[in-house]
Amino acid sequence: MLLVALTVVTQGLHSRPRGLELALGFGLVAAYLFVFGRLLTTEARSHLIEYSILAIFIYEALIEGESSGGSVQYPAALAIVASSMIGVLDECVQWLLPHRMFDLLFNSLASLSAVTTSVVLSLIRRPNAVLVERRDRA
């Protein structure tokens, strides 16, 4: 999990975030730390990270497929549903094991929060990209 945190920080600094991006980043970190601190089990903490990353990977793959000529409607919703369905499969397997919690709702909420944050971040970045392009043309 430390490697995931370091990757997020280094990639975030590489993109040189500004204003709203920094505020969103700090808010996201605060929310994850709050939830992470309230969770009692290591399994629940790892699921928070795992399903967030899984949902982002699926979302980015759908966006990449759309940008290369594919037709994907509602990639954010599809990423949340797909990662939630993988969570259902995972929880069904875990249900057979002793001493396991059924935390399907938590897995889905982790996916929802990660994809929502990614969509909001892309909306915040979009106007900045347009301004940079206009300055380059002038």
Q: State the pLDDT at residue 133.
A: 44
> Domain span at residue 42?
2-137
Residue-wise pLDDT tens digits, 9-28: 565 555 666 677 777 777 77
Q: Is the pLDDT of residue 50 over 70?
A: yes
Looking at per-residue pLDDT, the higher value among 119 and 26 belongs to 119
Q: Is the pLDDT of residue 53 over 50?
A: yes
Q: State the pLDDT at residue 131.
A: 46
What is the C-alpha to C-alpha distance for residues 7 and 117, in angstroms, rounded to an integer?
17
Q: How many domains is the chain partitioned into structurally?
A: 1
Taken as a whole, the chain contains a residue count of 138
pLDDT band, residue 124 (cuts 50/70/90):
confident
**What does the mean pLDDT of the chain come to?**
75
DSSP structure string for 56-95: HHHHHHHHHHHHTT---S-HHHHHHHHHHHHHHHHHHHHH
Structure tokens at 16: 């040189």
Residue-wise pLDDT tens digits, 73-114: 889 999 999 999 998 898 888 778 777 666 778 788 888 888
Q: How many CB atoms lie within 10 A of CB 54?
A: 22
Q: State the pLDDT at residue 10.
A: 62
Q: What is the pTM of this model?
A: 0.71
Place of tokens 């497929």: 65
Q: State the pLDDT at residue 103.
A: 73
Which one-letter DSSP state was computed for residue 99?
A: T
